[in-house]
């Protein structure tokens, strides 16, 4: 079994990095064990975080802020991604970037500004994005002759370049991705899930045949599925979007849908679009094919954004805060040294130094040496921050040559001799990652129910009971009615279909597919 720990260059993962024994002789209060149980402190620590069951949305906001993933920005619609949240995103980026590159895609960078006239060329595209598009109209003291759109997505700036680069079938395929931020105006932001500016990657490919474009669109959806399930421990349902839910201008849109905790709503976690030759025609991406004929090229685009950070929070979090999947956690193991007297401190510190030396190269490790916080406070804070494993080391542990190891997900404790620590931690991190996925998978299964009547479905929707599988005739009117009456939408037509999808849950006609209806973020 491979260790899942990708070590990073001795990265201090937190602001509170301190030198060993800093302030040791200073006027600052020393770490001590306070009377009262850990539970007491833990309860006090999280008391200003809303209860998950009472108000899941408020819980989300509180946890994101208290765990220092993100903070409010002094700009409407925007949030600030703080170092702890960004370190998580960086680990996610690295894991996804490797997967994307493994399929032959290369990174590049296109300007964030798109001339208004260029943006206007694709009609569906404009219509889809118009209400949320942000425009630059002034530079220095001058008004611009033509406003610039700040990219809400980059098809309209990338496709004209493809038109320039592609002459013959030999220039195809073009496989490009970019990591950047995009802008879609948002009045009521929610950190990671919905902000005016957000971070993502957007891939844009260009092909000689429709089959190749279709294959690429499906391939990248599979990359997303694998990334989200393997790295984030979140099970997803891959499928196709209905016409009403397609990307503006797409031939087909594929999606991976995840079920969040709390209200059991859906989160569209990554989408991949087969654009057909629609953009090729509009932007004149024409090439001389092998057979000597001039043809329009076929495109795909696909994106995954930092809303997947929000998914991690909502799928795995509990009353005590975050639970981060070990594979992407900025800190995989936190060490909390414990002592009462100065003499103990030295003994514990030496032992901690030894543990650090053993683990440092194989685990993303942080030792919390703050001396103005009690161990109990630290336990709660690191639980809130979702660190998968905690090592507690007190004077008695030093005597016994062992440490106490505590899992964040189950809160199970065990004593481990230092000689077995590395191996135990490696095993536990894999175990935790698996267990977190299994727990989320179990929930998704339990909370997905086949329904055959509208009443049954609406009751589930209003009770936040999860996903409803239902037959659908394929008619947009039926889809529209459900949305109007319940706010639920067709999340996707799953790739995995029953032999007989039965009847349309709305009109009772023969169903074309079984689809998932659910409310979504």
Strand partners, 440: none
Least spacing, CB of residue 323 vs a copy of itself, in Å: 22
List 96, 133, 312, 518, residue binding a copy of itself (CB under 8 A): 133
Give the pair of three-digit tokens for residue 307.
Answer: 């809303």
Give the number of residues written for the chain.
Answer: 521
Q: Give the number of other Cβ atoms within 10 Å of residue 200's Cβ.
A: 17
Tell me: cis bond preceding 173? Omega within 30 of 0 counts.
yes
Binding residues for a copy of itself restricted to 146-205, rule: CB under 8 A:
147-148, 150, 157, 160-161, 164-165, 170-171, 174-176, 180-181, 183, 185, 196-197, 199
Give the pair of three-digit tokens for residue 84.
Answer: 């702890």
Whichever of 180 and 288 has its CB closer to a copy of itself, that residue is 180
Considering only the stretches 120-128, 135-143, 227-235, 437-445, report the one whose residues sit in contact with a copy of itself under the rule CB under 8 A. 135-143
Q: Please tell me the number of Cα atoms within 13 Å of 133 on its side-chain side.
A: 23
Q: Give the number of other Cβ atoms within 10 Å of residue 86's Cβ.
A: 18
Considering only the stretches 140-148, 236-244, 294-302, 321-329, report the one whose residues sit in contact with a copy of itself under the rule CB under 8 A. 140-148
Whichever of 204 and 246 has its CB closer to a copy of itself, that residue is 204
Give the pair of three-digit tokens for residue 174.
Answer: 């073009």
CB neighbour class for 169 (10 Å; exposed up to 12, middle 13-18, buried from 19): middle
Whichever of 104 and 498 has its CB closer to a copy of itself, that residue is 104
Whichever of 27 and 37 has its CB closer to a copy of itself, that residue is 27
| 173 φ, ψ (degrees, to nearest 5) | -80, 160
Least spacing, CB of residue 15 vs a copy of itself, in Å: 6
Least spacing, CB of residue 130 vs a copy of itself, in Å: 7
CB neighbour class for 286 (10 Å; exposed up to 12, middle 13-18, buried from 19): middle
Whichever of 286 and 344 has its CB closer to a copy of itself, that residue is 286
| Angle value at C-alpha 519, between 515 and 521, nearest 5 degrees | 120
Q: Give the number of other Cβ atoms within 10 Å of residue 51's Cβ.
A: 12
Whichever of 75 and 476 has its CB closer to a copy of itself, that residue is 75
Q: What is the distance of C-alpha 101 from the center of its chain?
A: 19
372 binding a copy of itself? (CB under 8 A): yes
CB neighbour class for 28 (10 Å; exposed up to 12, middle 13-18, buried from 19): exposed
Strand partners, 71: 80
Whichever of 199 and 387 has its CB closer to a copy of itself, that residue is 199
List 1, 25, 48, 138, residue binding a copy of itself (CB under 8 A): 138
Considering only the stretches 4-12, 58-66, 321-329, 439-447, report the one whose residues sit in contact with a copy of itself under the rule CB under 8 A. 4-12
Least spacing, CB of residue 460 vs a copy of itself, in Å: 34
List 33, 123, 136, 244, residue binding a copy of itself (CB under 8 A): 136
Whichever of 161 and 511 has its CB closer to a copy of itself, that residue is 161
Whichever of 25 and 140 has its CB closer to a copy of itself, that residue is 140
Give the pair of three-digit tokens for residue 59.
Answer: 């819980």
Whichever of 12 and 498 has its CB closer to a copy of itself, that residue is 12
List 3, 50, 61, 134, residue binding a copy of itself (CB under 8 A): 134
Least spacing, CB of residue 303 vs a copy of itself, in Å: 17
List 20, 43, 101, 411, residue binding a copy of itself (CB under 8 A): 101
List 49, 67, 81, 267, residue binding a copy of itself (CB under 8 A): 81
Using CB under 8 A, count the residues that bind a copy of itself. Answer: 73
Cα(73)–Cα(18) distance, rounded to whole angstroms?
Answer: 28
Binding residues for a copy of itself restricted to 290-329, rule: CB under 8 A:
290
Least spacing, CB of residue 45 vs a copy of itself, in Å: 18
Whichever of 139 and 357 has its CB closer to a copy of itself, that residue is 139
Binding residues for a copy of itself restricted to 10-69, rule: CB under 8 A:
10-15, 17, 27
Least spacing, CB of residue 283 vs a copy of itself, in Å: 11
| 388 φ, ψ (degrees, to nearest 5) | -60, -35
Binding residues for a copy of itself restricted to 390-449, rule: CB under 8 A:
none
3-state secondary structure 53-80: CCCHHHHHHHHHHHCCCEEECCCCCCEE
403 CB-near residues (< 8 Å, 6+ apart): 355, 391, 392, 393, 397, 415, 416, 418, 421
Q: Please tell me the number of Cα atoms within 13 Å of 134 on its side-chain side.
A: 16
Cα(1)–Cα(423) distance, rounded to whole angstroms?
Answer: 11
3-state secondary structure 90-104: HHHHHHHHHHHHHCC
Least spacing, CB of residue 467 vs a copy of itself, in Å: 32
Least spacing, CB of residue 515 vs a copy of itself, in Å: 31
Whichever of 350 and 372 has its CB closer to a copy of itself, that residue is 372
Give the pair of three-digit tokens for residue 30.
Answer: 């020393």
Whichever of 77 and 388 has its CB closer to a copy of itself, that residue is 77
Considering only the stretches 51-59, 85-93, 246-254, 412-420, report the one whose residues sit in contact with a copy of itself under the rule CB under 8 A. 85-93
List 34, 108, 244, 476, residue binding a copy of itself (CB under 8 A): 108
Least spacing, CB of residue 221 vs a copy of itself, in Å: 21
Considering only the stretches 96-104, 343-351, 475-483, 500-508, report the one whose residues sit in contact with a copy of itself under the rule CB under 8 A. 96-104
228 conformational bin, left if phi > 0, alpha if psi -120 to 50, beta if neither: alpha
Q: Which of 172, 176, 157, 175 is nearest to 287 (CA)?
A: 172
CA distances in angstroms from 50 to 191, 311, 320, 389, 462, listed in the order given: 16, 18, 10, 24, 22
């Amino acid at each position: 079994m491979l260790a899942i720990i990708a070590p990073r260059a001795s990265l201090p993962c937190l602001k509170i990095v301190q030198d060993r024994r800093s302030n040791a002789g200073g006027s600052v209060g020393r770490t001590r064990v306070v009377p009262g149980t850990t539970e007491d402190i833990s309860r006090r620590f999280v008391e200003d975080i809303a209860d998950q069951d009472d108000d899941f949305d408020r819980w989300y906001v509180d946890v994101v802020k208290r765990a220092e993933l993100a903070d409010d920005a002094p700009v409407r619609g925007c949030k600030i991604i703080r170092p702890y949240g960004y370190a998580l995103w960086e680990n996610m980026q690295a894991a996804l970037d490797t997967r994307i590159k493994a399929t032959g895609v290369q990174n590049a960078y296109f300007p964030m500004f798109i001339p208004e006239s260029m943006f206007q060329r694709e009609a569906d595209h404009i219509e889809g994005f118009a209400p949320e598009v942000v425009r630059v109209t002034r530079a220095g003291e001058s008004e611009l002759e033509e406003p610039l759109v700040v990219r809400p997505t980059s098809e309209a700036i990338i496709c004209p370049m493809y038109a320039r680069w592609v002459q013959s079938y030999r220039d195809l395929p073009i496989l490009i991705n970019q990591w950047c931020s995009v802008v879609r105006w948002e009045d009521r932001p929610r950190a990671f899930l919905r902000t005016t500016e957000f971070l993502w990657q957007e891939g844009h490919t260009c092909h000689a045949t429709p089959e190749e474009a279709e294959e690429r669109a499906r391939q990248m959806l599979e990359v997303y599925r694998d990334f989200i399930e393997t790295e984030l421990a979140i099970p997803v349902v891959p499928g196709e979007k209905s016409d009403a839910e397609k990307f503006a201008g797409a031939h087909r849109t594929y999606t991976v849908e995840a079920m969040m905790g709390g209200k059991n709503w859906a989160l569209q976690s990554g989408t991949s679009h087969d654009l057909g030759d629609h953009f090729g025609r509009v932007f004149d991406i024409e090439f001389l094919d092998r057979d000597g004929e001039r043809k329009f090229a076929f495109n795909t685009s696909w994106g995954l954004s930092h809303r997947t950070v929000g998914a991690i929070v909502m799928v795995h979090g509990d009353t005590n805060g975050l639970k981060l999947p070990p594979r992407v956690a900025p800190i995989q193991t936190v060490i909390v040294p414990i002592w009462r007297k100065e003499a103990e401190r030295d003994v514990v510190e030496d032992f901690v130094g030894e543990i650090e030396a053993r683990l440092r190269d194989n685990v993303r490790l942080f030792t919390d040496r703050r001396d103005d916080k009690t161990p109990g406070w630290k336990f709660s804070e690191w639980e809130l921050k979702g660190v998968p494993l905690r090592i507690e080391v007190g004077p008695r542990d030093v005597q016994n040559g062992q440490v106490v190891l505590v899992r964040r997900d189950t809160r199970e404790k065990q004593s481990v001799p230092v000689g077995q620590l590395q191996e135990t931690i490696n095993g536990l991190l894999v175990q935790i990652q698996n267990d977190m996925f299994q727990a989320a998978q179990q929930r998704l299964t339990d909370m997905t129910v086949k329904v055959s009547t509208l009443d049954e479905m609406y009751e589930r929707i209003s009770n936040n009971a999860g996903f409803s599988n239902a037959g659908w005739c394929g008619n947009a009117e039926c889809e529209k009615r459900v949305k109007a009456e319940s706010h639920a939408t067709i999340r996707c037509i799953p790739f995995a279909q029953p032999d007989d999808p039965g009847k349309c849950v709305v009109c009772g006609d023969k169903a074309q597919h079984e689809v998932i209806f659910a409310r979504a973020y």
